[in-house]
Amino acid sequence: MKNKVIFFLLFIFFTEFSFSQNNELNYVITEDTVEYYREYENVKTKKIQKGTILSLNSLSNILYKSDFSQINSVLLNNEAEEDFYIPVFFAKPKNTSNVLSTELITHDQTKRVKNLIPAYYLKILRDGNLSKLEKYEKHFNIRYVESERETFSANGITTNLSNCGIYFYSDNKIAFKNILKIEENLYEIEGIAKGDYDELEYDFDCFRWSSILKNTFDNEVEKFYIKIDGDYLSISKLNQDNLIITLVYVDNSTMTELDNLFRNKKRNLSKVIWPRYADGSCDYDESKKTTVATQTQKTTSSTNVSKNKLMTVRENLKLRSGEATSTQVLTVMSAGTKVKILELGKTETIDGISSNWVKVEVQKGAKDREGKPIKQGTVGWCYGGYLE
């Protein structure tokens, strides 16, 4: 009997030990940086070296929304250093196979640089009807909007994505243990998730999302998939067909118009540049699907783009870091902007127009969509079909 008791206790010990080891979150610091620590509102910093390992045993120690005055980011808690905090920008899972493309990361060292929001907010913005959120968010009630409208902010619906994990403002989060790049725009994530379940709690700093991670339990390792399609990012669980949520990257003007809708019941859609899928199509401007020309197809161009040619932007046009709609937007050139073509890129057909992506240099006197000057000599990529 005594031996059976000892065996049982040992079995429990090793089971719990194996479980805790499997669920421990180990992150490595990727470059020399500092940790932040608040004491009586006087923020202290402490150097932390590249290669330092952070071992965290709970989701409660990862993915905090920063309330430090110096940084607007998401943080990791270094328990070993008396509650010092490190921006997730400087860390990644210790044993990860890959990391996410830098084009997907929402924060740099100190602040948010990309706006990533639930895609259904674009439908709300287009229709101008906040009550339709009740269809998407089980905790949303239009009555609370009317009484607390001035407290709402578009920033409250943003999602934070890093190599450490995903943090939703509804207190849903996925902490990454491993990142595996399967295809160019598809990642398999091994992670531990936390959902907010069915808490009947309203947060007037933002619209309370329904639980994004349904039927998800703390400290349970699961597989997730992140798929990129142009400006859209979808997250699914178990398999690629089990969709959790679709998010979308939007520019600052879209966030501004969402703010106007939340606070003032008004919005100016002429200032919104609707996001697009990788094929160039858009859900909001009735654009046609894009077909990428193969090398055997004859390259045609309705705009006669050619190297060293000076051309004019026909309509507000995104200047990007690369020749694809999935690349970073550098600025939005207003109609009438003069550009010089430096290089011809791949051929595509967008909105029925066959043309090349072109690398251009912005000329003197250029302005962005808001009327602000664009520095002469700024270089980026745009679709040649919108030049004349």
Residue type for position 52:
T
Residue 91, Cβ density class (10 Å: 0-12 exposed, 13-18 middle, ≥19 buried): buried
Residue 126, Cβ density class (10 Å: 0-12 exposed, 13-18 middle, ≥19 buried): middle
Does position 9 have pLDDT exceeding 70, yes or no? Answer: no
- Residue 157: in which H helix or E strand, if any? none
What's the mean per-residue pLDDT of the chain?
Answer: 79
Residue type for position 388:
E
User: pLDDT over 70 for what percent of the chain?
Assistant: 76
Confirm if 325 and 230 have CB atoms less than 8 A apart.
yes
For residue 243, give the nearest of 219, 218, 224 by alpha carbon.
224
Instruction: Taking the CA atoms of 92, 96, 99 and 100 in sequence, report the sign of the dihedral they define.
Output: negative
Residue 215, Cβ density class (10 Å: 0-12 exposed, 13-18 middle, ≥19 buried): exposed
Least confident of 143-157, 240-254, 256-270, 344-358: 143-157
Does position 141 have pLDDT exceeding 80, yes or no? Answer: no
- Rounded average pLDDT over 106-117: 90
> Confidence band (pLDDT; 50, 70, 90) for 290?
very low
- Rounded average pLDDT over 127-156: 73
Q: Where is mean pLDDT largest: 66-70, 151-155, 243-247?
A: 243-247
Does position 208 have pLDDT exceeding 70, yes or no? Answer: no
Query: Tell me, what's the pLDDT at 80?
Result: 79
> Confidence band (pLDDT; 50, 70, 90) for 17?
very low
Locus of tokens 């909001």 = 284
Instruction: Write out pLDDT tens, residues 144-198.
Output: 666 666 667 778 788 899 999 998 876 788 899 999 999 889 999 998 887 765 4
> Confidence band (pLDDT; 50, 70, 90) for 352?
low
Does position 301 have pLDDT exceeding 80, yes or no? Answer: no
Query: Tell me, what's the pLDDT at 203?
Result: 45
> Confidence band (pLDDT; 50, 70, 90) for 28?
very high
- Rounded average pLDDT over 227-240: 86
- Rounded average pLDDT over 341-369: 85
Other Cβ atoms within 10 Å of 90 Cβ, number: 24
What is the layout of strands, in order, in the sheet containing 165-168? 115-118, 243-250, 232-237, 221-229, 186-194, 173-183, 165-168, 159-161
Cβ neighbors of 214 (< 8 A, separation 6 or more) are 195, 244
More confident residue, 32 or 153: 32
Q: What top-level class would CATH report for the domain 291-386?
A: mainly beta
Locus of tokens 């101008």 = 128
Q: Where is mean pLDDT largest: 110-119, 209-218, 281-290?
A: 110-119
Buried residues in 145-171 as b, exposed as e (16+ CB within 10 A): beeeeeebbbbbbbbbbbbbbbbbbbb
Longest dimension (CA), the chain: 91
* Per-domain residue ranges of the chain: 26-93, 115-264, 291-386
Tokens for 334, please give them: 């207003």
Does position 31 have pLDDT exceeding 90, yes or no? Answer: yes
Confirm if 232 and 277 have CB atoms less than 8 A apart.
yes
> Confidence band (pLDDT; 50, 70, 90) for 3?
low
Tokens for 85, please give them: 């905090």
- Residue 192: in which H helix or E strand, if any? strand 186-194
> Confidence band (pLDDT; 50, 70, 90) for 69?
confident
Q: Where is mean pLDDT largest: 7-21, 92-106, 235-249, 272-286?
A: 92-106
Does position 225 have pLDDT exceeding 80, yes or no? Answer: yes
Distance CA 145, CA 131 (A): 9
For the whole prediction, is pTM greater than 0.85?
no
Does position 20 have pLDDT exceeding 50, yes or no? Answer: no
Beta strand 310-312 with 338-350 is antiparallel
Query: Tell me, what's the pLDDT at 187?
Result: 94
> Confidence band (pLDDT; 50, 70, 90) for 206?
very low
Gyration radius (Cα) of the chain, Å: 24
- Residue 256: in which H helix or E strand, if any? helix 252-264
Residue type for position 252:
N
